[in-house]
Structure 1
Amino acid sequence: MTDLPISSRNITEEPDHDAENNHDPVIQEPRLWRDVGWTARVVKNVDDEGWAVEMIKDGEPEPALVGPWTMGRDKKNPKPLDTNAFNTLVKTASEVLRRHEQQLHALLHKEISVATASAAVNVTLDVIPDDDFPYALLTACDEDGTQLAQVQVRANFTLNKSSATAWVEADFRKPN
């Protein structure tokens, strides 16, 4: 390499075609930014005359976030993306995905504690959303986390205080 100052060097790297190590290059264009695992794309808003921005997480087929985008000074073209806007969009889109994951977890995982004569039993229901054969696992653990029983039940099994108590009192026989 030459002894040019770093700012004067034209550094280009050959693209890595190995699928495991393939990282998309950083792009910072007025309507397209790609960095830190996200792509922001400013597009014509199909719902009205303005512009929209979509945030796509690398490897995902659909945008995690689509929202309105500000018009530029000419009131015709979109405002160009910049570092601050991109960072805000990444933060917002990440939060949307996090909330979605929390909601999905809440739908697929339920937990109830049942008091018995001898101790408390924690009963959990974990739904396995298989396309062909969805099911759920009903599990009982003691206060120390030791598994006492586990049975497979329907994916639409309702776990509530009554059903958990009935299962524990029936010595963990598979509910109907």
Structure 2
Amino acid sequence: MTDIPESPDLDEDDGAGGEEPIHEARLWRDVGWTARVIKNEDDDGWAVEMTKSGEVEPALVGPWTMGRDKKNPKPLDTSAFNTLVKTAAEVLRRHEQQLHAQMHKQITVNTDTGRVTVMLDIVPDEYDPYATLAAVDEYGETLASVRTSPTFKLNMTSATAWIANGYRKPGQ
């Protein structure tokens, strides 16, 4: 009787976004990321680009170390790849935080009736961008919500004026 090797379970998740892991000197793909060592176009050195699975553009491009021969790049390894994944993921996380901060602003105003938190949430729709201006009291009860221009500048002056104007849509 001949032993037939078992085929790998194709349903098993390898953690690489459905792609087979690759561990080569200049190409490393695993855990949903691809590291590719490339020739640095600006000089004689090398660079590494980190691309998340499913994305077209790299999340991170940075210099890569030369090997001992001072001509070829140092080969990728597990430790370097793990560090690159951590760094690239942090870059994406910071980008998402910055985008969130640009699209969601809030200011708290002290009024005669208590503290009011005014929030501006921008919806960057390609065809019809807009913003929602909302006010909640200190107990979390919604006092008002209006749709406004995505270019509305929320600051202490504009928030106070909106409250004093009876929460009417700005510009009216």
TM-score (norm 1): 0.87
AA partner of residue 105 (structure 1)? H
Match of 1:82 among 77, 80, 101: 77
The CA distance in 1 between the partners of 2:63 and 2:124, in whole Å, is 34
Deviations 1:34-73 (A, max 9, x none): 1111110001111111111000011111000000111111
Q: Using a 3 Å threshold, how does the CA distance of structure 1 residues 15 and 95 change in structure 2: closer, same or farther?
A: same
Are residues 1:146 and 2:150 paired? no
Q: How much has 1:168 moved relative to structure 2?
A: 1.0
Q: How much has 1:133 moved relative to structure 2?
A: 1.5
Aligned to 1:55: 50
Aligned to 1:128: 123
Question: Which runs of no fewer than 5 residues in structure 2 stay unpaired?
Answer: 12-16
Are residues 1:109 and 2:104 paired? yes
Q: Using a 3 Å threshold, how does the CA distance of structure 1 residues 80 and 165 change in structure 2: closer, same or farther?
A: same
AA partner of residue 147 (structure 1)? T
AA partner of residue 108 (structure 1)? M
Aligned to 1:33: 28
Q: How much has 1:136 moved relative to structure 2?
A: 0.7
Match of 1:43 among 38, 43, 61: 38
4+ aligned runs moved over 4 Å, structure 1: 9-12
AA partner of residue 94 (structure 1)? A
The CA distance in 2 between the partners of 1:160 and 1:175, in whole Å, is 13
Match of 2:68 among 64, 73, 78: 73
Aligned-residue Cα RMSD (Å) equals: 1.9
Q: Using a 3 Å threshold, how does the CA distance of structure 1 residues 110 and 64 change in structure 2: closer, same or farther?
A: same
Percent identity between the two aligned chains: 64
The CA distance in 2 between the partners of 1:160 and 1:12, in whole Å, is 62
Secondary structure of the 1:94 match is helix
Aligned to 2:95: 100
The CA distance in 1 between the partners of 2:158 and 2:124, in whole Å, is 21
Count residues with an aligned counterpart: 165
The CA distance in 2 between the partners of 1:12 and 1:80, in whole Å, is 30
AA partner of residue 131 (structure 2)? A
The CA distance in 2 between the partners of 1:32 and 1:67, in whole Å, is 15
